[in-house]
């Protein structure tokens, strides 16, 4: 597990580790990247680790009895070990490599949901879920006849715990929720939701894509049954994610993807599946991506997750101050003191897409749209919003300049 490590933190110096951030765009404007909630950038250490594997040690893993395969297999399994430590999981074989958070949640919906959910059951989500934590459960409901329900939020953008309690019944089979909203920045009391779900015997799935990259994660303290997250939001490559599941849960699940690696024996009469984690890793896994994710975790750990969290909090406070000076700007979600490192907002009478386009012409990359959270935007009666999301390489100077540029853009578009 990544401990409470603290180091001297200098985001300006850290930026030098990220080649993509050193470039200029649009008439020599320095690139400002505020779309980290979608995907983060990659330090040279991650690029080098993946490059080195392709150059010196790449081969398929767990299959070849030769030097290259043994080297690649060792690196691949070391990545699994390092991830287990990073999230404080009990066992290496509970760490399943997938292609991302979406694939991880779909794995649970198929391998656990299809076997355990029926038309008498209910699945409880929250209204601020990402589509990847809505659609797989809606598909499960279509297959089984179960009902999907949604817990609401309070006026200040917090998860409505009273509504959660009121919707939990003996029919609730699954409670699936994000540890932090990718739109509102709302930080959810995961352990408390898990405790409430367990009080009615429900299984729990945590979409941790927006929290694992930004704070210390302890899956044992959370107590959930499954936790999903992605590499590309935490300095790692795209195409790789993690499903952590409690061993006793995973051992009872049948694989829903068949092929190589996931089997024990195959005959013309049938097959038997393998042990964990291979059972859920059919085919050639994301070998180089796992090695890159390991390098990303080493990089994050060298700084310290508490340090990163504190830095992002300072950026959010500064952004709130800057945004408060813009007439007609509406921030979605809780107060700065209660949110993760992102802010979504609208400006009265101005299209979020127009704001994003003009900011881009000034070298600032933000997000505009529904952020794969259409039900939440429908809740607010809007179709889209702007989102700025921060990470360890963003600076206070960038935030201050962003505030000035945003005011100029808003004034121009009025």
- Beta strands (DSSP E) in 191-340 are 203-207, 226-230, 241-245, 263-267, 270-273, 329-332
Active site residue 372: yes
Length of the chain: 414
Contact between residue 116 and residue 29 where contact means Cβ atoms under 8 Å apart? no
* 399 torsion bin: left (phi>0), alpha (psi -120 to 50), beta (else): alpha
Please state, in angstroms and rounded to a whole number, the distance separating the CA atoms of residues 285 and 97: 7
Rounded (10°) angle between helices 352-360 and 396-413: 120
Please state, in angstroms and rounded to a whole number, the distance separating the CA atoms of residues 195 and 18: 40
Report the side by side order of strands in the sheet with 385-389.
329-332, 342-347, 385-389, 367-369
Token pair of 109 as six digits: 């919906």
Query: 330 pairs with which residues across the strands?
Result: 346
Tell me which of 47, 161, 200, 372 is the catalytic residue: 372
391 φ/ψ angles, rounded to the nearest 5 degrees? -145, -175
Q: Which residues contact 240 (CB under 8 A, 6 or more apart)?
A: 97, 98, 99, 100, 230, 231, 232, 286, 289, 290, 292, 293
Rounded (10°) angle between helices 287-303 and 67-86: 40
Over the range 12-26, which residues count as b (16 or more CB within 10 Å of their CB) and which as e?
eebbebbeebeeeee
Active site positions, annotated: 372
């Amino acid at each position: 597990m990544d401990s409470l490590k603290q180091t001297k933190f200098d985001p300006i110096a850290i930026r030098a580790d990220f080649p993509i951030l050193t470039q200029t765009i649009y008439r020599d404007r320095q690139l400002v990247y505020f779309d980290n909630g979608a995907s983060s950038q990659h330090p040279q250490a991650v690029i080098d680790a993946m490059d080195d594997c392709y150059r010196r040690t790449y081969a398929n893993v767990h299959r070849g009895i030769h030097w290259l395969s043994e080297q690649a297999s060792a690196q691949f399994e070391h990545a699994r070990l390092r991830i287990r430590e990073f999230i404080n999981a009990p066992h290496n074989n509970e760490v399943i490599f997938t292609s991302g958070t979406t694939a991880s949640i779909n794995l649970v919906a198929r391998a656990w949901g299809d076997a355990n959910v029926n038309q008498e059951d209910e699945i409880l989500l929250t209204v601020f879920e990402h589509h990847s934590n809505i659609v797989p459960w809606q598909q499960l409901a279509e297959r089984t006849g179960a009902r999907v329900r949604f817990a609401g939020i309070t006026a200040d953008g917090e998860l409505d715990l009273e509504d959660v309690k009121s919707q939990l019944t003996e029919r609730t089979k699954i409670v699936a929720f994000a540890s932090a909203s990718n739109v509102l920045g709302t930080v959810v009391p995961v352990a408390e939701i898990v405790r409430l779900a367990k009080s009615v015997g429900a299984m729990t799935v945590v979409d941790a894509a927006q929290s694992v990259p930004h704070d210390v994660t302890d899956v044992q303290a959370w107590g959930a049954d499954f936790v999903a997250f992605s590499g590309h939001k935490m300095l790692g490559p795209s195409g790789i994610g993690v499903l952590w599941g409690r061993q006793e849960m995973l051992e009872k699940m049948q694989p829903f993807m068949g092929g190589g690696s996931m089997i024990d024996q195959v005959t013309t009469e049938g097959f038997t599946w393998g042990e964990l984690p291979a059972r859920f890793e059919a085919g050639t896994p994301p070998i180089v991506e796992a090695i890159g994710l390991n390098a990303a975790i080493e990089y994050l750990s060298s700084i310290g997750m508490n340090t990163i969290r504190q830095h992002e909090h300072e950026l959010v406070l500064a952004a709130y101050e800057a945004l408060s000076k813009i007439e007609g700007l509406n921030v979605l979600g809780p107060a700065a003191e209660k949110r993760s490192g992102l802010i979504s907002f609208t400006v009265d009478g101005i299209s979020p897409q127009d704001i994003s386009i003009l900011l881009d012409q000034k070298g600032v990359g933000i997000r505009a749209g529904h952020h794969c959270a259409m039900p939440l935007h429908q809740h607010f009666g809007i179709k889209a919003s702007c989102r700025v999301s921060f990470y360890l390489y963003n600076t206070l100077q960038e935030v201050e300049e962003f505030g000035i540029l945003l005011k100029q853009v808003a004034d121009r578009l009025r």
